[in-house]
């Protein structure tokens, strides 16, 4: 099989934590080119990969004929222009979430990728948690019955430390809603369906973080109605003191349906809590081993920290979709749909009213 050359644009935190170890699992794939605006960050990644090509300008990377696919892991505001240029040069694209600063730009990314006929994927990494996949399977089997309520709670303690580009709206778009709740909005749409309307509040309680201005939200809550009449309550905060700042802090999803209730917690990667209509309470439900890795992934689930290693399956899915010439499991469409909900939540906060979620 011919070698697939991947370029990574933005070689900071998530590239080192996730994209490089994920690509290392993929057969016949080379991290061929690296790009970061910061030469020191670029050098760190170069030493870890031995990539042949490295640049501080992404424009030099997307035009190269020897680059077949790009991973975009820059601050959010750069995603659309890089992705659109990459698509126009025929590169397959895995782009970090949130796809863009607004749904119009996210839709442009999707349209360009479709026009170019390239594979496109949104890095909604938590979709690769084994328990999340099993939950989706149970719903598909009819175990939930009619969905009544979706509930999610993401609580972290980030204190008032400086978040860099993440606390500057023109670079990040939003704060907590784009950074953390976007994943849980995606779960909601994946497990329950499209959101029809919502009322939301985004709140900034830390206008100064470690001496630097913050014009983004650090708390968000959404009350939602899905097109299938199910209701949703979504909350996420960076200011839940004592809850820890990591993937080990509280990340809870609950679904109540006419037949059953299921709970999912990222911290319990291979277990759900389940209860049946009229039953005596929720009980643990083990995730069967066939769900422990993504289909087609060579990952050994007993190697490494299971709360980290499921994320590596994301790169495997991207590469396998390219090889198999099929759509990626979590295409840009998912990123666009989540962005529409985020745009509606921002608008609802501004007008103080319920808002219909736009279909553009
Ligand atoms: N999927 C997930 O679970 C997950 C987790 C963390 C971050 N993310 C997303 O990944 C993206 C990056 O986040 P991060 O935590 O790695 O941030 P980071 O700040 O650690 O890394 C971003 C990198 O982009 C570089 N950069 C800035 N401008 C650039 C340019 N013009 N050209 C090339 N490189 C440029 C910066 O120098 C930096 O090294 C964001 O979109 C974020 O939302 C996703």
Which CATH number covers residue 210?
Answer: 3.30.360.10
Ligand 1 binding pocket includes 181 (Cβ within 6 Å): no
Residue 8 lies in a domain: yes
Closest by CA to 183, choosing from 256, 230, 132, is 132
Are 153 and 94 contained in the same domain?
no
Answer whether 41 contacts ligand 1 (Cβ < 6 A).
yes
Half-sphere exposure of 42 (CA within 13 A, CB side): 17
Residue 101: its pLDDT value, please?
Answer: 98
- Provide the percentage of residues in the chain whose pLDDT is more than 90: 96
pLDDT band, residue 4 (cuts 50/70/90) = very high
The reply to whether 252 falls in a domain is: yes
Q: Check pocket membership of 96 for ligand 1, CB cut-off 6 A.
A: yes
Pocket lining: 122 vs ligand 1, CB cutoff 6 Å: no
Residue 74 Cβ inside 6 Å of ligand 1? The answer reads: yes
Ligand 1 contacts CB of residue 206 (under 6 A): no
Q: What percent of the chain has pLDDT over 70?
A: 99
- Both structure tokens of 165: 């580009």
Indicate whether 327 belongs to any domain. no
Average pLDDT over residues 53-79: 98
The CA–CA distances, whole Å, from 216 to 76, 227, 241, 309 equal 13, 29, 19, 30
Residues 103 and 81 in one domain: yes
Tell me whether residue 295 is in a domain: yes
Q: What is the number of the ligand 1 atom nearest to the C-alpha of 126? A: 3
Whether 268 has a pLDDT exceeding 70, the answer reads yes
Is the same domain home to 53 and 147?
Answer: no
Asked if residue 1 has pLDDT above 70, the reply is: no
The answer, yes or no, to whether any atom of ligand 1 lies below 6 A from the CB of 37, is yes
Instruction: Establish if 15 belongs to a structural domain.
Output: yes
pLDDT at 360 over 60: no
Domain total for the chain?
2
Same domain for 66 and 166, yes or no, is: no
Which atom of ligand 1 lies nearest, measured to the CA of 74? 24
- Per-residue pLDDT reduced to its tens digit, 194-248: 999 999 999 999 999 999 999 999 999 999 999 999 999 999 999 999 998 877 8
Which of 198, 158, 190 minimizes the C-alpha distance to 175?
Answer: 158
Q: Are residues 153 and 281 in the same domain?
A: yes
Residue 330 lies in a domain: no
Ligand 1 pocket, residue 12 CB under 6 Å: yes
* Claim to verify: residue 144 and residue 202 sit in the same structural domain: yes
Please tell me the residue having the least CA distance from ligand 1 atom 21. Answer: 12
pLDDT at res. 266: 84
**Do 166 and 300 belong together in one domain?**
yes
Q: Is the CB of 73 under 6 A from ligand 1?
A: yes
In angstroms, the CA 152 to CA 154 distance is 7
Same domain, 151 and 172: yes
Q: Which of 125, 151, 179 is the last residue of a domain?
A: 125
Q: What is the pLDDT of residue 359?
A: 73
Q: Ligand 1: which of 8, 10, 56, 180 to mutate, most ligand atoms within 8 Å of CB?
A: 10
Do residue 89 and residue 153 come from a single domain? Answer: no
pTM > 0.85: yes or no: yes
Range of 41's domain?
A: 4-125
* CATH number of the domain residue 55 falls in: 3.40.50.720
pLDDT for 20: 97
What is the Å distance from ligand 1's center to 12 Cα?
Answer: 6
For 16, which DSSP code? Answer: I
Q: Is 58 in the pocket of ligand 1 (CB under 6 A)?
A: yes
Cα 13 to Cα 155: distance, rounded to the nearest angstrom: 21
* pLDDT given for residue 248 in this prediction: 80
Last residue of a domain, one of 100, 125, 150: 125
Given a cut of 80, whether residue 153 has pLDDT beyond it is yes
pLDDT (tens digit per residue) in 67-118: 999 999 999 999 999 999 999 999 999 999 999 999 999 999 999 999 999 9
Q: How far is residue 212 CA from its own chain's centroid?
A: 27
Distance CA 37, CA 166 (A): 17
Residue 315 lies in a domain: no
pLDDT tier, 358 (very low <50, low <70, confident <90, very high otherwise): confident
Decide: 76 in ligand 1 pocket, CB within 6 A. Answer: yes
* pLDDT of res. 247: 74
pLDDT in tens, 280-337: 999 999 999 999 999 999 999 999 999 999 999 999 999 999 999 999 999 999 999 9
Band of the pLDDT at 181, cuts 50, 70, 90? very high
Give the pLDDT score at 80: 98
One domain for residues 141 and 64:
no
Would the CB of 289 count as within 6 Å of ligand 1?
A: no
Q: How many A from CA of 316 to the centre of ligand 1?
A: 20
Ligand 1 centroid to Cα of residue 148, in Å, is: 37
Half-sphere exposure of 71 (CA within 13 A, CB side): 29
Of 95, 125, 155, which residue sits at a domain end?
125
| C-alpha dihedral, 127 to 33 to 321 to 342, nearest 10° | 40
Q: Ligand 1: distance of its center to the CA of 2 in Å?
A: 29
Is the same domain home to 55 and 190? no
Rg of the chain (C-alpha set): 20
Indicate if 70 and 202 belong to the same structural domain.
no
Can you tell me the distance from the alpha carbon of 62 to that of 58, in angstroms, rounded to the nearest whole number? Answer: 6
State the pLDDT confidence band at 34, using cuts at 50, 70 and 90. Answer: very high
Our CA dihedral for 245, 247, 250, 254, rounded to 10 degrees, sits at: 150
């Amino acid at each position: 099989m011919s070698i697939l050359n991947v370029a990574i644009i933005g070689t900071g935190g998530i590239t080192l934590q996730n994209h490089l170890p994920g690509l290392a699992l993929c057969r016949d794939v080379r991290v061929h080119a690296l790009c970061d605006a910061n030469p020191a960050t670029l050098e760190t990644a170069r030493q870890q990969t031995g990539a042949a090509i490295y640049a501080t300008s992404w424009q030099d990377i997307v035009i190269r004929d020897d680059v077949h696919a790009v991973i975009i892991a820059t601050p959010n505001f750069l995603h659309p222009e890089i992705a659109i240029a990459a698509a126009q040069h025929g590169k397959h694209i895995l782009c970090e979430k949130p796809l863009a600063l607004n749904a119009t730009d996210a839709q442009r990314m999707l349209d360009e990728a479709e026009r170019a006929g390239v594979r496109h994927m949104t890095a909604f990494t938590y979709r690769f948690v084994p328990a999340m996949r099993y939950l989706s399977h149970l719903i598909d089997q009819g175990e939930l019955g009619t969905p009544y309520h979706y509930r999610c709670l993401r609580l972290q303690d980030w204190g008032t430390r400086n978040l860099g580009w993440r606390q500057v709206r023109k670079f990040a778009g939003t704060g907590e809603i784009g950074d953390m709740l976007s994943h849980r909005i995606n779960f909601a749409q994946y497990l329950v369906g499209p959101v029809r309307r919502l009322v939301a509040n985004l709140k900034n309680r830390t206008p100064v973080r470690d001496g630097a201005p913050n014009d983004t939200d650090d708390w968000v809550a959404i009350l939602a109605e899905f097109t299938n009449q199910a209701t949703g309550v979504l909350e996420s905060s960076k200011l839940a003191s004592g809850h820890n700042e990591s993937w080990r802090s509280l990340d809870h999803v609950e679904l109540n349906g006419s037949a059953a209730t299921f709970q999912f917690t990222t911290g319990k990667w291979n277990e759900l809590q389940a209860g049946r209509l009229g039953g005596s309470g929720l009980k643990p439900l083990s995730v069967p081993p066939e769900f422990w890795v993504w289909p087609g992934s060579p990952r050994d689930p007993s190697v490494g920290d299971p709360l980290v290693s499921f994320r590596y399956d994301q790169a495997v899915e991207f590469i396998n979709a390219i090889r198999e010439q099929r759509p990626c499991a979590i295409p840009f469409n998912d990123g666009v749909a989540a962005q529409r909900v985020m745009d509606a939540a921002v608008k609802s906060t501004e007008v103080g009213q319920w808002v219909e979620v736009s279909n553009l």
